[in-house]
Amino acid sequence: MEICGSAYERQKVRNENDFYPTPHSIVKLLANYSEWESLYVWEPCAGDFRLVEALQTRDYKVIATDLDQGQDFFDFKEAPCPHLMTNPPFKMIRPFIDHAFAIGVERMVLVCPKRLWACKKGWEQFHRHRPARFINLNWREDYLGKGGSPDRALAISIWESPNASRCQYEVWSKPYE
């Protein structure tokens, strides 16, 4: 019996290093996030630099690093900036969160799957590193670039410290393009 669409088959066709550019609508949301008094931000998964460029147009000073440039996030022993904003590889998102806070990140904004906290491992991590805000996006994106119907519901987690006492839930609408 042949099983179509198994996790193994889907993994074989994933992009190298789990690189999927951040959709422009989400880049716009992140670039307009202006609640930080500091204008210094580390973007450790810079990819095609679309988020870096959008942040720079908003006068953020961005430290851009990326695995494809030989700068593996997990090799950093100290964060070059205490504020981090990125769309990390989802297959590594849990270790990413833990590592960010272990190396000195104080505030973080991450694009993440909408179900990030909806499992035992997620719930445990939520209690270790509770975000101040968890935002579901009320639209879907063709995040994997397959064409056709949008395939991915996304969210944004925002930390103002490595572990907030409370998490506020929000739903954001798609910005006009």
**How many domains does the chain divide into?**
1
pLDDT digits (tens, 9 = 90+) for 147-177: 766 767 899 999 999 999 999 999 998 887 5
Q: Which domain holds residue 113?
A: 19-172
Q: Is residue 177 part of a domain?
A: no
CA distances to 12, 14, 58, 89, 106 from 17, rounded to whole Å, are: 12, 8, 28, 7, 26
Q: How far apart are CA 42 and CA 163, in angstroms?
A: 19
- The 3-state DSSP composition of the chain as helix, strand, coil percent (nearest 5) reads 30, 25, 45
In a domain, 8, yes or no: no
Band of residue 67 on the pLDDT scale cut at 50, 70, 90: very high
Which residue, 76, 127, 66, is CA-closest to 102? 76
pTM for the full model?
0.85
**Please, what is the angle between helix 93-102 and helix 120-128, to 10°?**
20
Q: Please check whether residue 32 lies inside any domain of the structure.
A: yes
The alpha-carbon radius of gyration of the chain (Å, integer) is 16
pLDDT at 9 over 70: no
Write out the two tokens for 157: 């987690």
3 state DSSP class of 74: helix
Is residue 43, in this structure, part of any structural domain at all? yes
Residue 10 included in any domain: no
pLDDT band at 143 (very low <50, low <70, confident <90, very high): low
CATH of the domain at 42: 3.40.50.150
Tens of pLDDT along 14-40? Answer: 456 566 678 888 888 888 876 777 789
